[in-house]
Structure 1
Amino acid sequence: MNVETTRLSSGLTVVTETMPHLESVALGVWIKSGSRNETTEEHGIAHLLEHMAFKGTKRRSARDIAEEIENVGGELNAATSTETTSYYARVLKDHVPLAVDILADILTESEFDEEELRREKHVILQEIGAANDTPDDVVFDKFSEVAYRGQTIGRPILGTPDKVNSFTPGQIRGYLSRNYTTDRMFVVAAGAVDHQTFVKQVEERFASLPTAPSSPPVLEPARYIGGDVREDRDLMDAQLLIGFEGKAYHMRDFYCSQILANILGGGMSSRLFQEVREHRGLCYSVYAFHWGFSDTGIFGVHAATSGSELPNLLPVVIDELRKSSETIHQQEIDRARAQIRAQLLMGQESPAARAGQIARQMMLYGRPIPNPEMMERLEGITTERLTDLAGRLFFDTVPTLSAVGPIEQLAPISDISAALSSPAAKTQKAVG
């Protein structure tokens, strides 16, 4: 792994991976701050800031930003998540200085013009409306809200129309000054890049970043609560999401949870896909996932099916969860590990994938993690560890259920909770 790391005197961390066989470079700035770092009055401001960063600086108009990067065939984008925000570009190797200059410009010299802010608020209101019209988005947002009721981590990243409409340039600058500081930012590049040259470019252009926040951000500890949320809509299909508290990134069982999610619902050969879709034909989409955060996690199963199939679907899903707490085969572990290994190696062929992976590792672990070390962490996972984990995840914690669509025939949460703590023989009767 040809990865080099330099920490500048300002506290900003610069990381590169040289891939000399390429003609392009993927580069970006990752900030260890997202929607979870907002105050109650700032709900949605992290996402709004990400939009506004492209709407003009002291040297460039919004159009200038778009044209300059596209004039050289490059791409520029950004994303906001619960705990991170990223601004990234991909250009040919000769245009790295331009990409660095634009990224630095939008992150240190944005104007937050009132008229641009008004227009962008309107764009985000449309984005919120589109999300509310998308049932598979709604079911996940509602799941988070009830799993972490009354907490920042459970709020939708986009915010609410009232909050978004209320934001001022001063509020945006306040969030920016607290969270976009060198101790929380990582500049990463992968591809045809020379480390020392890149470090000098970053050091020069990002010199004006604040090194410490005026009032350090405080992250509210997550408290998983669980519960039930349903929205009856006149739709063709029902969206169903059942989940449990998972494992944080630094917990011992994090990688074990990733393997378990893969075995249960990580592909066409997974248990849920084979049993629920292929064998029984109960739905057209079913999968399992595990999301890790800094101090909590979510392990979930998502399915989309007709409302009439809900009484048949849920008992089968719960039965598969139960079986995973009783028996896991070594062949399943080997297949899950092979899939993760393939993803890691395939990611090395994409500079954008590598830059993102390195940035996440720096934010989570403080260093890049070589693929062999990653695979070594997976080698210690045994069938016994997996069955023990499944028992604790699915049957020793409070479930969270989120459902949207024609859900009249969905069993009450009391029956579902009973099925998750009852003998296997009672599962069908409890929730069917």
Structure 2
Amino acid sequence: MFRKTTLENGIRVVTEKLSGTQAVTVLILVGAGSRYETQEIRGISHFLEHMFFKGGNKYKNTKEVSEAIDSVGGEFNAFTGKEYAGYYVKVAGENFKVACDVLSDMLLNAKFPQVEIEKERGVILEEFNMYQDTPMYQIGWNFEELVFGNQPLGWDQIGTKELINTVMHEDFKKYNGKLYTPDNLVIAVAGNVDHGNVVEMIGGCFDRLEGEKAYNFDGLKKIDGGRLSLKEKKTEQAHVALGFPAYKESHPDYWALKLLSVILGGNMSSRMFLGVREAHGLAYYIHTSVDSYADSGLLVTNAGVDLKRIDQAITGIIEEYRKVRDEDVPEAELKKAKSYLKGKMILNLEDSEEFAHLLAKYELLRGGAVDPAEITKKIDAVAVADVARVAKDIFKEEGMKLAVIGPYGEKERFEKLLKF
């Protein structure tokens, strides 16, 4: 069972004692994702994430940061999402202090030296180019722009080349000061640890952090991004994302939505996999997933399909949506989806990193950490009627959206397919 303490400066510390592991993960989650950006600073959240690894007072550069973690056989990384950024170190329990030292020095004493900013521009531009050249990544971003339109939730996290080429030291200091504050930050620790010892250690490392969050992200505006995104590109395989706007994470039917996505395309015995790939050989990869945020979400099926049979593949995906909307899911199939979802959660939470992420995300975004047993109860409570109601609510022709990347130029070819 997790425990929580709020430090004097407002930092929330959440821990979970995992007796079956010798690893400890220290994860810092900050409400500073790409939704907090405007067009003028689009991409600064992700660039800032890179800059924190350039050193502070104790560990003065990337080499010293890396050596500190490598010397104890640890792992460290960071990530930028739409609504938060995360920084973590995973070490053997006996090296917990090293993790705290490195993370606190990075976040409290970051210098953002201009010379390092100039060097990192090239790194991030190459990351930008990598995503542009990787349709499996790009298709998801194109689909989100369709669903959410031209606003922060519809933008990718990598940002614009203009920002990457022009952002300066003072821009990082300003953005950091507004959002990297105690009240906008959660530290989660998972592993074979004692809560009291963790609080004492983190308190000593992070007690100098001060300030208050300057602003929140804007709520989602109703912007019509259209129904079809077609990017003409010479590829050996067409990439498709076909789905619908869906629910925010706190929606009462969120877990029914998650189970619906498992039934449709969550694993190798799902309807999409068996119906589109195995029965007809139309796709190599195909999967359905849910992405949910504070005020909205989406359900989407992604697939890499045969260039010559893309129309048949799209029609096949739509047919699976139609069937699950018009015909109730059998009880046995729902039971199997529940077992899958719960089993995957159990396996994931064997990893202290995954457990820390679960705790921190719920604490930061949902107003309180959650015990996995509570999630299990919500999954078990979903009935066939709930899944049917969600399918009918979401799978409407006017909400259907399609993104395609491949050697095609004619939009009309795909627009006429978007119907039940």
d(CA) in 2 for partners of 1:216, 1:408: 42
TM-score, length-scaled by structure 1: 0.93
Q: Write out per-residue CA displacement over residues 284-330 of structure 1, whole angstroms, 9 at most, x where no aligned residue.
A: 11111111100000111111112211121111111110100122111
User: Quick one: structure 1 residues 411 and 289, their matched pair in 2 at CA, closer, same or farther if it must change by over 3 Å?
Assistant: farther
SS of 2:416's partner is helix
Match of 1:59?
58
1:410 Cα shift?
Answer: 7.2
Match of 1:426?
none
Match of 1:176?
176
d(CA) in 1 for partners of 2:243, 2:221: 16
Match of 2:375?
374
| Cα pair 2:150 2:223 within 8 Å, conserved | no
Identity level (%): 27
Counterparts of residues 14-413 of structure 1 (less than 5 Å): 14-62=13-61, 63-213=63-213, 215-223=214-222, 225-227=224-226, 228-327=228-327, 328-395=329-396, 397-407=398-408, 412=413
d(CA) in 2 for partners of 1:346, 1:238: 33
SS of 1:332's partner is helix
1:226 Cα shift?
Answer: 4.2
Number of corresponding residues: 417
SS of 1:341's partner is helix
Unaligned segments of structure 1, at least 5 residues? 421-432
| Cα pair 1:310 1:409 within 8 Å, conserved | no
Moved more, 123-132 or 28-37: 28-37
| Cα pair 2:232 2:407 within 8 Å, conserved | yes
What is the RMSD computed on CA atoms of the aligned residues?
1.6
1:396 Cα shift?
Answer: 5.7
| Cα pair 1:260 1:386 within 8 Å, conserved | yes
| Cα pair 1:224 1:245 within 8 Å, conserved | no
d(CA) in 1 for partners of 2:223, 2:287: 22
d(CA) in 1 for partners of 2:412, 2:282: 16
1:23 Cα shift?
Answer: 2.0
SS of 2:186's partner is strand
Unaligned segments of structure 2, at least 5 residues? none
What letter corresponds to residue 6 of structure 1 in structure 2? T
d(CA) in 2 for partners of 1:270, 1:331: 13
1:114 Cα shift?
Answer: 0.7
d(CA) in 1 for partners of 2:207, 2:26: 18
What letter corresponds to residue 204 of structure 1 in structure 2? G
| Cα pair 1:153 1:222 within 8 Å, conserved | no
What letter corresponds to residue 23 of structure 2 in structure 1? S
What letter corresponds to residue 296 of structure 1 in structure 2? S
d(CA) in 1 for partners of 2:412, 2:286: 19
What letter corresponds to residue 44 of structure 2 in structure 1? I
d(CA) in 1 for partners of 2:41, 2:376: 40
Q: Write out per-residue CA displacement over residues 205-264 of structure 1, whole angstroms, 9 at most, x where no aligned residue.
A: 111222313x32342424363421111211110001112111101111211110000000
d(CA) in 2 for partners of 1:331, 1:126: 48
